[in-house]
Amino acid sequence: MSESKYAIEEIFRPTSFPQYTYIDREISTDDTYELRLKKALRSPGRLISITGSSKSGKTVLCHKVIEKNSIIDLSGAQIQSQADFWNQIAEKIRLPLEVQVTQTVANKVSINARTGASGKVPFVASADISGQAGYDHSTGQNIAEKEIRSNTAIVEYLIANHKVLVLDDFHYLANDLQMYIARILKTELFNGLKAIIISLPHRADDAIRHNPDLIGRTSFIEIAPWSMGELTEIGRKGFALLRYEIDEQDLNLLAQESIASPQLMQENCFNLADRIAVVETNAVTTELVHKAFHDTVINYSHYDAILQKVLCGPAQGREKRMQYTFKDKTQADIYHLFLKGISIDPPVLSMHMDDIKARFATIIDESEKLPTSLVTSNTIMHVERIMHETAPKLDSIEWREQVLYILDPFLLFYLRWNNSLSF
């Protein structure tokens, strides 16, 4: 087995910046996302809005373009109040809540005496002399005062030190917080502040539309879903550096199951490389790829409790749910049908109502009637509510204007590769 000078964890890095397997994605023949972000950062007075599906490389792009000591990144999921917003920025720049200012107050005392021919000085005989004598004496007192840091001081520091404020998951913020931050940004962008907000594509206009102060002052960068070719390039570069042999078929399988997510591709490649190292070979097999997928699933077992609650559905009275007969002659209710429907080939992150019903048709026996659009819509809304109540801080699904958005590609991957789920 040919040895590589690199460790697996250096090459495939799903949760940190992938130095060796970073892909500079092209928008067109003469434009890339890096170039577009650099240009936007050179445009004074404009907010930058970066949108793209979850785990699509938006944050990685920012960390690639912006110097490490210049980026101040916050997560909207962790900001619950105006105070949170300012405190988290201050913590990033290590600005203390209170500073002690010491001031010295000085007192000066002068004593002067003047003599002359006609003057008299006690204890000195009268003489024909003149002149002036005296001395100064100064005393000082140190006065210490505490000053509370101000929001103005925080912003002034960001501007003066050329920091870039990056607000990830901006859509998680409550509307009133979005409006508050928008007002701050409107003023401070004009004064020289640089700021980026990161959001999901179908919520991109929310951050702007709900904040009229930002309209006309925003540069939009929309991150397109990763193509198969871009995802395979991650594996191709990484496995070459590790000196592992992998054919196009297995590279394509890795890319397809990574569902347009570079982060998921990084993790699947990491687990595959680890499998290869264990068996002490430098040749990749499809069997090893499948084992790597199951290794990835293990890291996301927290989805299991959520999906089990979905399979149970909402609280049911005495009336039994309708059972659908599948083509394999098994029977299940609408919630099992829904999860099975969204998990079959091809793996996609958004589906219109018609697409969902078409998937149902490939599962349900021809003798059965398909669920109506109303039943399907109500089911999806129940699933959305169950997932949100079970894991409110987790991106799961969203049903919006007859389109189902699977917000987290890892959730769909888990559905496809977790053998313990029965639907």
Q: What value does the mean pLDDT of the chain take?
A: 87
**Cα(241)–Cα(233) distance, integer angstroms:** 12
The pLDDT value recorded for residue 373 is: 97
Domain range summary for the chain, segments of one domain joined by +: 26-94+150-222, 227-298, 302-417
**Which strand (E) or helix (H) includes residue 241?**
helix 228-242
Q: Do 26-94+150-222 and 227-298 show the same overall fold?
A: no
Structure token digits, residue 275: 């499998």
The pLDDT value recorded for residue 319 is: 76
Structure token digits, residue 77: 């999921």
Smallest Cα–Cα separation from 149: which of 88, 97, 100, 82? 97
Range of 133-142, 175-184, 219-228, 393-402 with top mean pLDDT: 219-228
Q: Would the pTM count as exceeding 0.85? A: no
Which fold, 26-94+150-222?
A: Rossmann fold (3.40.50)
CA 318 to chain centre: 44
If one compares 2 and 156, the residue with the highest pLDDT of the two is: 156
CA 238 to chain centre: 24
The pLDDT value recorded for residue 70 is: 97
Identity at 76, one-letter amino acid code: G
Smallest Cα–Cα separation from 150: which of 216, 88, 90? 90
Apex CA 98: angle with CA 93 and CA 102, to 5°?
A: 115
Say which DSSP state 6 is in. Answer: S
- Residue 248 neighbours by CB under 8 Å, 6+ apart: 232
The pLDDT value recorded for residue 210 is: 67
The pLDDT value recorded for residue 206 is: 66
**Cα(421)–Cα(309) distance, integer angstroms:** 12
Q: Kindly indicate the confidence band of residue 125, based on its pLDDT and cuts at 50, 70 and 90.
A: very low
Structure token digits, residue 232: 């395979």
Q: Please count the CA atoms within 13 angstroms of the CA of 319 that sit on its side-chain side.
A: 3
The pLDDT value recorded for residue 128 is: 45
**Above 50 in pLDDT, residue 122?**
no
Paired strand residues for 105:
141
Q: Are 338 and 319 in contact (CB under 8 A)?
A: no
**Above 90 in pLDDT, residue 1?**
no
The pLDDT value recorded for residue 387 is: 96
Q: Kindly indicate the confidence band of residue 126, based on its pLDDT and cuts at 50, 70 and 90.
A: very low
Q: Model confidence over 250-294: pLDDT tens digits? A: 999 999 999 999 999 999 999 999 999 998 777 789 999 999 999
Q: For the residues 115-135, what does the mean pLDDT come to?
A: 44
Q: For the residues 307-311, what does the mean pLDDT come to?
A: 95
CA 110 to chain centre: 67
Q: Are 14 and 221 in contact (CB under 8 A)?
A: no
User: Strand (E) positions, 200-340?
Assistant: 218-222, 324-325, 331-332
**Cα(302)–Cα(320) distance, integer angstroms:** 29
Q: Kindly indicate the confidence band of residue 393, based on its pLDDT and cuts at 50, 70 and 90.
A: confident
CATH of domain 227-298: 1.10.8.60
**Cα(139)–Cα(130) distance, integer angstroms:** 31
**Which strand (E) or helix (H) includes residue 403?**
strand 403-406
**CB burial class (10 A; 0-12, 13-18, 19+) of residue 136?**
exposed
Smallest Cα–Cα separation from 410: which of 298, 323, 244? 298
Q: Are 324 and 337 in contact (CB under 8 A)?
A: yes
Percent of the chain with pLDDT over 90: 70
The pLDDT value recorded for residue 101 is: 52
Q: Helices 334-343 and 353-363: crossing angle, nearest 10°?
A: 100
Q: Are 39 and 221 in contact (CB under 8 A)?
A: no
